[in-house]
Amino acid sequence: MGASTEYLDTLNAGDYILDFVGPLGVASHFENVKKVAVIGGGLGTAIAYPQAKKLHSLGAEVDMINGFRNKEMIIIEDECKKACTNLYTMTDDGSNGNKGFVTAKLEELILSGAKYDLVIAIGPLVMMKAVCDLTKKHNIKTIVSMNPIMIDGTGMCGGCRLTVGGETKFACVDGPDFDGHLVDFDEAIMRSKMFKSQEEMSRQNHRCRMEGMN
């Protein structure tokens, strides 16, 4: 959606960027998880996939629920099938035959008797918030992966700050995984919209300031 992402999409095999830094933050930890629901929303599915794959390899029973706007936007479905026990792919418009939000399928599974030790949600903020609102009612531990704007990756700039349990956290060093029931999603959603005009200006007018320098 941003200028940098659009630029990356123009690169071909063999092209390169100047630097790539990572991994950052704290690694995910999944101890003593027997049954888990892993939920991916849109492109968040690409991040949810390795989580599901790891848990599945550890012997956990994994229900994976992925949500997309329509069937044309579905990604890595075959890979996800191999990384979980049960895969449910939902679309907003029902164009793949499964209409509904990921929360509807999750609630259906919970009400049908699924006893989850953990729910993992990765995707748009509004989706993760909705998942957490649901799991809080059912007292199910929920981990979300937060991806606010990150600038220096060290926590010094403060761009990726979040409020978690009433405390300020930085996604690049303290995250990206957080207890979803403690995240202030309303604040995170508000902050995610702060730089929309600058993003649009960058898309229209960006030029590398180092061009032409010796």
Return the CATH fold of 33-205.
Answer: Rossmann fold (3.40.50)
Q: Is the pTM of this model over 0.75?
A: yes
Is the separation of the CB atoms in 74 and 60 below 8 Å? no
Q: What are the tens digits of pLDDT across the range 45-62?
A: 999 999 999 999 999 999
pLDDT of 212 over the 60 cut: no
* Structure confidence at residue 1 (pLDDT): 65
Confidence of residue 210 (pLDDT cuts 50, 70, 90): low
pLDDT of 189 over the 80 cut: yes
Compare 24 and 199 and report the one with higher pLDDT.
24
Percentage of the chain beyond pLDDT 90 is: 73
Contacts of 72 (CB under 8 A, 6+ apart): 95
Confidence of residue 26 (pLDDT cuts 50, 70, 90): very high
Give residue limits of the domains in the chain: 33-205
Residue 200, amino acid: E
Residues 68-87: b if buried by 16+ CB within 10 A, e if exposed: beeeeebeeeeebeebbeeb
CA R_g for the chain: 19
Q: What are the tens digits of pLDDT across the range 103-115?
A: 999 999 999 999 9
Q: Is 17 exposed, middle or buried (0-12, 13-18, 19+ CB in 10 A)?
A: exposed
For the chain, the average pLDDT equals: 92
Confidence of residue 6 (pLDDT cuts 50, 70, 90): confident
